[in-house]
């Protein structure tokens, strides 16, 4: 890197991080905020984005009282998950790890990521898969939400396969996209879903999902439950 900023590679100062958090919280919609902060603290814009978003995500998880993320899957994947953790379809194929899928089409175009919902299972999708694979025994995994803080992940305010995300998926990894999952209303196809009577830690749209590109290690799995489909 040419002309490295003066503080490039140096340990972060706690007070600087706190100030960055406050400024990003106030000005996160300003398209030039990362450039401004990079100049102010002699860091790269990439470093400001990385460290700033960690703080913003951590604070938002706490503010919303988010205590768990949910992923459901075929029970036959459990042994592999306990051994390898939760891996994307792309990683499973690359490493020749056998798996049982529930969505072979992946209209979300993100085979490199694992889908998680916040607080509650996505029962809209689950009911579709339950009926499609009627002989399958399903399990629900409860994931520690702190995985979000450091992970490369993308925040979708409704089903990631929705065409409204085409062309803008790479921009959905910031705090604004995370907060949009809890917006007063969310656009879904031709309609808008309004936030009515949801708890603070529940997304506005039941189908909202976080796509995590990183491997989710077994130690991030807080609980495993069989799903009663009777």
| pLDDT 10s digits, 57-116 | 999 999 999 999 999 999 999 999 999 999 999 999 999 999 988 776 667 788 899 999
Instruction: State how far the Cα of 56 lies from the Cα of 20, in Å rounded to an integer.
Output: 10
Domain ranges of the chain: 14-64, 69-226
Residue 74 neighbours by CB distance under 10 Å: 16
138's tokens:
């399903």
Phi, psi of 208 (to 5 degrees): -60, 145
The DSSP secondary-structure symbol of 34 reads: H
| CA separation for the pair 28, 14 (Å, rounded) | 20
pLDDT tens per residue, range 158-215: 999 888 888 788 889 999 899 999 999 999 877 899 999 999 999 999 999 999 998 9
* Residue 174 token pair: 């910031």
Specify burial of residue 90 (Cβ count, 10 A radius: 0-12, 13-18, 19+). Answer: middle
């Amino acid at each position: 890197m040419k002309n490295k900023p003066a503080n490039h590679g140096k340990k972060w100062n706690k007070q600087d991080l706190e100030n960055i958090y406050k400024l990003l919280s106030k000005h996160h919609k300003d398209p030039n905020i990362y450039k401004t902060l990079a100049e102010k603290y002699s860091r790269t814009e990439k470093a400001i984005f990385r460290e700033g978003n960690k703080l913003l995500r951590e604070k938002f998880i706490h503010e919303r009282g988010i205590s768990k993320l949910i992923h459901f899957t075929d029970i036959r994947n459990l042994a592999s998950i306990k051994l390898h953790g939760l891996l994307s379809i792309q990683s499973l194929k690359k490493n020749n790890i056998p798996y049982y899928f529930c969505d072979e089409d992946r209209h979300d175009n993100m085979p490199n990521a694992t889908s998680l919902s916040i607080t509650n299972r996505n029962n809209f999708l689950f009911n579709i898969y339950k009926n499609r694979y009627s002989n399958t025994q399903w399990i629900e995994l409860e994931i520690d939400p702190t995985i979000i803080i450091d992970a490369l992940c993308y925040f979708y305010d409704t089903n990631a396969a929705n065409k409204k995300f085409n062309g803008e998926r790479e921009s959905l990894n910031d705090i604004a996209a995370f907060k949009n999952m809890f917006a007063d209303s969310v656009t879904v196809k031709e309609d808008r879903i309004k936030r009515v009577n949801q708890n603070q830690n529940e997304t506005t749209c039941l189908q909202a999902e976080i796509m995590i590109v990183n491997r989710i290690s077994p130690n991030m799995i807080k609980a495993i439950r069989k799903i009663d489909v009777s």
